[in-house]
Amino acid sequence: MFFTAALNNIPGCSTPQTCGNTIWYATSTDGTNWSGYTRVPIPATDSQSAGSLDGTQNIYPYAPSAVYDPQADGSVFKIFFSDYNDTSFVKMVTLDANRNLVNVASPSGPQPLFRLFSGTPAASNVQVIYNQYTGVWYMWYSNPQGVGSNGQPSYINIYEVKMVAKAYYNYPIFNVQGAPLIANSPAGGSSAVCGTNTPGVLLLDATHYELFFSQIPNTTGDNNCYETENRSIQMWSYTLN
């Protein structure tokens, strides 16, 4: 199991739910009792990111999506995640069987971190799967858009993205999806729903999947789509693009 843990003892971090975010793993033999809680060694800074004078910025990783994908370079897990400090990019690290970091091959030399996806809209709560039937990677993510009067998103959509190429050791290359898979209207209007969030995917066969997600009703009477308000869990059936 891979998960987000927000640490409250990081120097200079006053909001643990953002700058305190780290990714951890635990193991279990029965799916109920977990042990061996260990932090995933994601680099503290991303030398490929823009946003600061020296070309680096801190990484605040959250919402990991882990794929078991053994490769000849010794990597076993691909860990995809969002970054609160660099929301335009989905990032990935690879781990060996002992969950140690494996450098990613790239044209500029080995890298501890791989940036897979960039552009607008921003991607959060990423879910990635490898379709073993077709050899194609897919990614789903939620996209908060607009800013309401209380600083919350105005609405949240879910996108589905298909890889455009594979590189190195089965690493997927993605492009921005033009239209959302589930589109919502801004809060404060007549629509019953303002947000769909945190997608989870169960692949059924080569072409069909179930999408699980949280649904946020438009019930607050203002222009904020509150992610913690009256949500329900939905399951919809889809055919892969």
Could you list the residue range(s) of the whole structural domain that residue 211 is in? 123-166+173-241
Q: How many domains does the chain have?
A: 2
Averaged pLDDT for residues 70-94: 89
Burial readout 146-179 (b: 16 or more C-beta within 10 A, e: otherwise): eebeeebbbbbbbbbbebeeeeebbbbebeebee
* Measured CA distances, 127 to 33, 161, 173 (Å): 24, 10, 15
Calculate the average pLDDT of the chain: 86
Res 100 pLDDT > 90: yes
Instruction: Give the DSSP per-residue string, 70-103.
Output: --TTS--EEEEEEETT-TT-EEEEEE-TTS-EEP
Res 121 pLDDT > 70: no
Among 102, 118, 134, which residue terminates a domain?
Answer: 118
Give the range among 60-64, 70-74, 220-224, 236-240 with minimum mean pLDDT: 220-224
Q: What is the pLDDT of residues 34-62, one digit of tens each?
A: 999 999 988 888 776 655 555 677 888 99
Same domain assignment for residues 133 and 47: no
Same domain assignment for residues 32 and 104: yes
Same domain assignment for residues 8 and 109: yes
> Could you give the 3-state DSSP secondary structure of residue 148?
coil
Give the position of tokens 């400090």: 85
Averaged pLDDT for residues 178-204: 90
- Please give the pLDDT value at position 213: 96
Which of 57, 54, 58, 61 is CA-nearest to residue 24?
61
Same domain assignment for residues 158 and 183: yes
Phi, psi of 4 (to 5 degrees): -95, 135
Same domain assignment for residues 34 and 75: yes
Same domain assignment for residues 6 and 96: yes
Same domain assignment for residues 109 and 44: yes
Q: How many Å is the maximal CA-CA distance in the chain?
A: 55
For residue 185, with 0-12 CB atoms within 10 Å meaning exposed, 13-18 middle and 19 or more buried, which class applies?
middle
Specify the pTM: 0.89
Res 19 pLDDT > 90: no
Same domain assignment for residues 149 and 218: yes
Cβ–Cβ < 8 Å for 169, 160: no
User: How far is Cα 10 from Cα 21, in angstroms, rounded to an integer?
Assistant: 10
Give the range among 5-9, 92-96, 197-201 with minimum mean pLDDT: 5-9
* Kind and range of the H or E run holding 127: strand 124-131
Percent share of the chain, pLDDT over 90? 46
Tokens at 43, concatenated? 């680099």
Same domain assignment for residues 161 and 102: no
Q: What 8-state DSSP symbol labels residue 111?
A: B
Cβ–Cβ < 8 Å for 2, 66: yes
Same domain assignment for residues 138 and 83: no
Same domain assignment for residues 52 and 145: no
Give the range among 10-24, 42-56, 65-79, 189-203 with minimum mean pLDDT: 42-56
Cβ–Cβ < 8 Å for 172, 212: no
Same domain assignment for residues 71 and 156: no
Q: What is the pLDDT of residues 144-186, one digit of tens each?
A: 888 888 888 999 999 998 888 888 788 888 876 678 899 998 9
Among 101, 118, 135, which residue terminates a domain?
Answer: 118
